[in-house]
Structures are given as C-alpha cells and as structure tokens.
Copies of this chain bind each other. A is one copy, B any other.
Amino acid sequence: MAAGRPRSFCTETALDSAMQVFWRKGYEGASMVDLTSAMGISSPSLYAAFGNKESLFRKVLDRYDARLRNFMESVLTAPTAREAANRYLHGVADFMAHTGGQHPPGCFMMQCGSSCSDQDIPDAVAKRRAEKEAALRERFARAVAEGDLPAGSDPAALARYLTTVSNGLAVQAAAGDSPAQLHAVADIALASFPAAEIAQPAEPT
C-alpha cells in the first residue's frame, strides 16, 4: 500500500454523492459547500482527490456516462435494428424513471448540461450525448447493409429520431411522468420505426 495517512472516504461513493448534488442543482447551482457537505469531506480533501469543481464534474459525468455506455451496449447488440430501437426506447423509459431513491428522475446530462456560465460544461455534456446518437446511426447503417432495414432507409434520420424521443423522455420523466406513461410514449414512438423486410410467411387469417 502507498505510504501516508489513509483516505477516510470512498472516492466512488463520494462521486455518487456529488452526482446527486449536480443533478439537483446544476453545475453552477451546486456550490462547493453543497458538494463537500453532501460528500462528507472537507474542501481540501475534495481538491486533493478530484482537482477542482470542473474536474469533479467531469469525473461525475464520466461515471454517469459509463452507465449509459453500458446500457447502449445492450442496445447495440440486439439482433435486429427493430429490436435495438425497442430496447433503446423502453430501456430509456426504465432508466429515466428509475431513481434508485438517490437522484431525481430524468437524465443527469439533460439536467446539468443545458446552459452555463462556462460553455465548456454544456459542450462536454453535448459531446457525450452525440456519441450515443452516432452509435445508433452506425448500428442502423449496418442494418441497412445487412438488409435488416428497408433499402433506402436513412440511418442518420432514424438515429436522430430515436435520440430525439429519448431526450424528450428524459424531460417527461423529470417532470414527473410515471413509468407506465413513459413506456406508452415509447410504444407510440416505435410505431414509426420501420420493420425488417422479411419474406412474409403465409399469413393465417
């Protein structure tokens, strides 16, 4: 083990506490006093462990984004584009509705990353969101190439559409919509998503 006085707190737990504060109050609205008291550590400990406020926020953002990337992986590995879209929107509905009793409903990135005195913060958040849309786009491009989506489908437009609904779901969840209501919206949205062009089996009446 490294020499020196041992740390009295768990950095990951502290990051989760910081996430709650940023989530509820935004980047600027979260004061260092808010953060240190929620994390249960003193100000110098915070600076020693996480740098400064912006650096702390970026670490929190990374931590949240890791959850999202994990979720996206389960979406992108779906066998078909249709199933990926289904997993995506209903997964988002679950994700946004589930607070774990720790944070408000909705999406951390949507709550903290809108407007800010320091434009770098919204930019950093927007970049993470764009990555998710790009991942969907590439998945759908592959689906078109594989014949999994109708020829002539626009992968970029479909990815943009799903991203749009996803971000909208985050807003609805933050506004207090129930899980059932979010899933209902997801179902309506999925009705627009093209199905695979499969050879139709003889259809029973």
Q: B-contacting residues of A (Cβ < 8 Å)?
A: 22-26, 28-31, 110-112, 114-118, 126, 129-130, 154, 157-158, 160-161, 163-169, 171-172, 174-175, 177, 181, 184-185, 188-192
Tell whether, in the assembled complex, residue A165 and residue B165 are in contact, meaning their CB atoms are under 8 Å apart: yes
User: Which residue of B is nearest A113, CB measured?
Assistant: B114
With CB as the reference atom, state the residue of chain B lying closest to A169.
B164
Copies of the polypeptide in the assembly: 2
For residue A153, give the distance in angstroms from its CB to the closest CB of chain B. Answer: 11
The one of B24, B171, B191 in contact with A110, judged by C-beta atoms closer than 8 angstroms, is: B171
Cross-chain contact of A172 among B163, B169, B177 (Cβ < 8 A): B163
- A94 → B minimal CB distance (Å): 15
Q: Are B160 and A181 in contact (CB under 8 A)?
A: yes
Q: Which residue of B has the minimal Cβ distance to A175? A: B126
Contacts of A189 on B, CB cut-off 8 Å?
Answer: 161, 164-165, 189, 192
Q: Who on chain B is nearest to A156 by CB?
A: B181
Contacts of A167 in B (CB 8 A): 167-168, 171-172
Known: A25-B115, A29-B117, A168-B166. A129 touches B175 (CB 8 A): yes
